[in-house]
Chains A and B, each alone.
Chain A
Amino acid sequence: MIAPEFFYAALVVAIGGLICILRAMIGPTVPDRVVGVDTLNTLVVAGMVLLGAAYDRTIYIDIAIVYAFLSYIGTLVIARYLQGGLR
């Protein structure tokens, strides 16, 4: 059963995610795109938590936690590459 208020909140987060995708597509430089993707990751975590509340499943929160960890690692790897790579 979908709880409508959480579902509408997830819809608002999805609109923000579309704007982030726009920035990642048209960003003139590489750091612009990285910031766009990083913001999109955070919005996806928020959307996962909201959808877990909307569908009334507690176990979906685990996936949001793992996604938050892995998006941090992904952004860190790109930052490490942009500043000159390993060594």
Chain B
Amino acid sequence: MGLIVKTSARAIIPLIGIFGAYIVMHGHLTPGGGFQGGATIAGAGILFLVAFGLDEMRKHYNKNLYSALEGIGGLAFLGAAMLGMGVAFFYNTLWHNGPFFNGKPGTLLSAGFLPIMNLAVGLKVFTGLVSALTAIALYRRWKS
């Protein structure tokens, strides 16, 4: 699009990314969490696609990297769920007797495995949404 939109997108995309990372990291303290933060960061990706066009997006988008990151997000969620397997599935062993993430409730490093799960879901949602929308945008020409 035009020069004004491109310049303002250069300024706004880092802001949206940082705010989405804030939502993901504070998922156990404030409204939001993995899905909401991931969708917000995916909004930054959509803004990049809309403001700079399809050719620029094709240069910066790597299908294999995004696919692998989505799988890693799911595996990290499952790994955090398996941590307390000695007691039960989804047992929050990091909170009860873990070495970290067991601070005072209300602080950032509390709540056991919840920050890890929020980060995993945020990564998965961000890569999945950006991959889906880029695939739709790249689909084909209008006539078959």
Contact = CB atoms under 8 A, between A and B. Distances in A.
Interface in B8-33: 12, 15-16, 19, 23, 30-32
Nearest to B36: A66
Interface residues of B, number: 21
A80 B1 contact: yes
Decide if the interface of chain B is mainly helix, strand, loop or mixed: helix
Contacts of A87: 53-54
Nearest to B8: A72
Given A69-B12, A76-B51, A80-B1, A62 B43 contact: no
A76 B13 CA distance: 13
Nearest to A83: B1
Contacts of A77: 46, 50
A63 B37 CA distance: 11
Contacts of B36: 66
Contacts of A69: 12, 15-16, 19, 40, 43
A2 interface: no
A62 B46 contact: no
Contact of B50 (A59, A62, A63, A76): A76
Task: Give the 4 A-B residue pairs with the shortest CB-CB distance, closest first.
Answer: A59-B30, A86-B54, A73-B47, A69-B16
